Amino acid sequence: MPSGKKKNLSEYDVAAVPSGKGMKIGIVVSEWNNTITDVLAEGAVETLRKYGVREEDILVEHVPGSFELTLGARWMAEYSDVDGVICLGCVIQGETPHFTYICQGVTQGITQLNIKYNIPFIFGVLTTSNMQQALDRAGGKHGNKGVEAAVTVLKMIGLKRSLI
Ligand code: DLZ
């Protein structure tokens, strides 16, 4: 890729993605900015299906906002036997006075979950300056961050399985 060209978020090496057969994946989706997060969720579900995760092994749950993603993901880990959890949200700076607090809260929260539990929790939260930047990353010119999150969870579960 020429230097300076922006990487499309959904570009990935298809051959490097492990099969999702036998995996159970949780997806927690923020309702806030749902025109964006619904597209992220669709991209994630489609990608998991493409790599062989069965429909019944994809659990999708919604939480009110990105700040609630951490607890929703924790409950998913504790009350269902998922192999990994994808967290999807969208926080837009121009429209959110407490942008920084929400972003810091969910970033630290998801980091803590990765440390506490022995499964991957994937950060699929768009933190953009405006709605256009979010649209560009939810099926627009920069791909779909939900696809990238699904590829990431498959790779992390694959890594774990290769080590144990
Ligand atoms: C309150 C709020 C605001 C102003 N903006 C956003 C946003 O851009 N994206 C998002 O996911 N959530 C937002 N929220 C809701 C908070 O995440 C959270 O749901 C509430 O503060 C209640 O805890």
Q: Best of 69, 70, 96 to mutate for ligand 1, by most ligand atoms within 8 A of CB? A: 96
Domain holding 52: CATH number? 3.40.50.960
Answer yes or no: is 14 within a domain: no
Ligand 1: centre distance to CA 120 (Å): 24
Answer yes or no: is 66 within a domain: yes
Q: Which domain holds residue 28?
A: 22-163
Band (pLDDT 50/70/90 cuts) for residue 3 is very low
Atom of ligand 1 at shortest distance to CA of 89? 11
Ligand 1: residue whose CA is nearest its atom 18? 65
Answer yes or no: is 8 within a domain: no
Answer yes or no: is 13 within a domain: no
At 98 the pLDDT is 83
Question: Measured on CA atoms in the order 115, 102, 125, 42, is the torsion positive or negative?
Answer: positive
**Please, is 151 exposed, middle or buried when counting C-beta atoms within 10 Å of its C-beta (0-12, 13-18, 19+)?**
buried
Adjacency order of strands within the sheet including 58-63: 58-63, 25-30, 84-92, 121-128
Are 125 and 70 in contact, with CB atoms under 8 Å apart? no
Answer yes or no: is 48 within a domain: yes
At 13 the pLDDT is 76
Distance of CA 20 to the CA centre of its chain: 16
Count of domains forming the chain: 1
Helices 99-116, 69-79: axis angle to 10 degrees equals 20
> Given a cut of 80, is residue 12 above it in pLDDT?
no
In tens, the pLDDT along 87-107 reads 999 999 975 668 999 999 999
**C-alpha distances out from residue 61 to 33, 54, 112, 142, Å:** 15, 17, 20, 25
Least confidently predicted of 56-65, 88-97, 138-147, 154-163: 88-97
Are 77 and 83 in contact, with CB atoms under 8 Å apart? no
Answer yes or no: is 17 within a domain: no
